Structure 1
Amino acid sequence: MTHKFTRGLSWLALILAVGATIYAFTGMTLARVDRIGKLEGFGYLYQSVPVVVGALVIAIIALILNWRAGWPARRAALIGFLFAAGFVGSLGIRVAMAADAPMIHDATTDLADVPQFEAITLPDDNLRGLDGPKEWVALHKSAYPDLRSVVLDRSVEQTILDAEKLAKERGWTIRAVDPVGGRLEATAYASYIRFEDEVVIRARPDGADRTLVDMRSVSRVGMGDLGVNAQRIHDFLEDLAAVR
């Protein structure tokens, strides 16, 4: 192989890897600031994947050719490889971490008496991708058997006040809060795109100065959430229980 071919292949890998990364980042940023829809912004990322995978393969070939030819374009090949490998690797890790997540986007601690939204209106197609509530319950039980209510040694009012503080610290948008009635509703945000997920926290008396807390987190778009809502509930209730 000539040095000219090796240089050309190296620069092709670099251009494809950097170009696809910029394309994906641009789309996601536009979605983040609501200049385009969230799913449309995610589409930029999705469309970039095959291009970056191709760039990674080309970069590997270019590195091998550079090694054989005395490294005539090592910088272009190496940068292209690093961009492509970083892109593919970060996506691969995210997908692998959520490999066991079910194709649902609504998680809760109480399937028998699901916390309901009052201030927030969920999409009419909240059961999209499912045959009905029974399938959702079955998938939820199988995937998240440990997602349960928590009992706290504090009043209902204090529980909601503590929950409100934690929600604000996380950057959530508070939609409704009723410390006396034991309810908080908020919009949380997921990923760089800032997908909007709706959250309701319900607090009920459970004896003297004890409160039973349930939580629900629902994605407004998409069918599966990669386990984001269940993880949000787990982390939030863990932090709420740790408040002193």
Structure 2
Amino acid sequence: MNDAVRFSHQPSGGIAVKLENLLALAALVLAFAAALFALAPGPVYAAGVLELLPAFALLLDWAPGAAIAAGCLGLLALAVAARRRRWRAATGAVAACLLGGVVWLSVVDFKARAAANPLHDVTTDLDAPPLFQAISPRSYRAGGEDTMAAYPDATWRRTHAEIYPDIRPVIVSGSMSEVLAHTRSIAGRMGWTIVAEEGDAALMRIEASDETAWFGFTDDIVVVLRIVVPPGDAESGVRVDVRYVSRIGIGDVGKNADRVRAFLGRLSSG
């Protein structure tokens, strides 16, 4: 009788072990799929495999959906594994929950940064941003949403002043030739491709383009160097204004402002 009881319970235990392993495996597959959906949009768009909107759908819809599913399955697998004391399956379940959570939080952070940075045109001079001459300026649809995210729209000006109050022109001590050489050096280190350079000893203009690492977007930059005399300073300096504009899209998740800050920071630090 005892042998019969032990035999009758063994198949049930085997099914339980198989179930928790399958749940953990499914959770891990979903978690890795979520990570793939989050990372792949940039490369597949840059390679021309997907258009921009489908690529963003992978990031904004598919990735968090798969991450949530991975977390739910992972928790279920963890509960079953803990009850049966199957620690290998529990480890896989925890890994799936952690990876799914990282992906979900990353997408939430991306959406939050996109909402907080609805502009794609960032400059140090709101009243008279440096204008592109060698590079063809971006064109806008009349009344389009992207128009309100760029100069000279009043909404753009108001939003820019609110979210980027720290982005202002800098005055760098030194001659025009010294500051110009330093500007060229920084542009090279930041990966910019200089398209045009023109001017004289009093005013210089540099126009350049930059390619983003993830999606391969091309952004346009114009830097204007102008000789000025700071108040109370007997020696002349060079005022530097910069403008950074994305060629496509509405917002830039704050990347253009970060790049402007990085450029100005390097210029000011000498």
TM-score (norm 1): 0.85
Superposed, which structure 2 residues align to 1:4-83 within 5 Å?
A: 4-33=18-47, 36-37=50-51, 40-46=54-60, 47-71=62-86, 73-83=89-99
- Candidates 198, 213, 236, aligned match of 1:178: 198
Equivalent position amino acid for 1:165 in 2 = S
Partners of 2:90 and 2:269 lie apart in 1 by 52
Equivalent position amino acid for 1:89 in 2 = L
Percent identical across equivalent pairs?
29
Q: Which moved more, 1:55-64 or 1:26-35?
A: 26-35
Q: CA deviation at 1:149?
A: 0.9
Superposed, which structure 2 residues align to 1:59-208 within 5 Å?
A: 59-71=74-86, 73-96=89-112, 98=113, 101-125=116-140, 128-129=144-145, 130-131=147-148, 133-178=153-198, 180=200, 181-207=203-229
Q: CA deviation at 1:73?
A: 1.9
Cα deviation code 1:160-206 (max 9, x no counterpart): 32112111111122222236351111222335223222111111110
The equivalent of 1:214 in structure 2 is 241
Equivalent position amino acid for 1:73 in 2 = A
The equivalent of 1:235 in structure 2 is 262
Cα deviation code 1:195-227 (max 9, x no counterpart): 222111111110354111111111122211122
**C-alpha RMSD over aligned residues:** 2.7
Cα deviation code 1:91-142 (max 9, x no counterpart): 344455x377342111111011111111222321288415571111111111
Contact between 2:120 and 2:246, CA under 8 Å: does it hold in 1? Answer: yes
Kindly report structure 1 stretches of 4+ aligned residues shifted beyond 6 Å. none
Contact between 2:33 and 2:66, CA under 8 Å: does it hold in 1? Answer: no
Runs of 5+ in structure 2 lacking a partner? 1-14, 230-234
The 3 A distance-change label for structure 1 pair 36 and 186 is: farther
Q: Which moved more, 1:8-17 or 1:210-219?
A: 8-17
Partners of 2:82 and 2:198 lie apart in 1 by 67
Q: CA deviation at 1:2?
A: 3.3
Q: SS state of the match for residue 221, structure 2? A: strand
The 3 A distance-change label for structure 1 pair 39 and 123 is: farther
Which protein has the bigger helix share? 2
Partners of 2:135 and 2:164 lie apart in 1 by 25
Contact between 1:160 and 1:179, CA under 8 Å: does it hold in 2? Answer: no
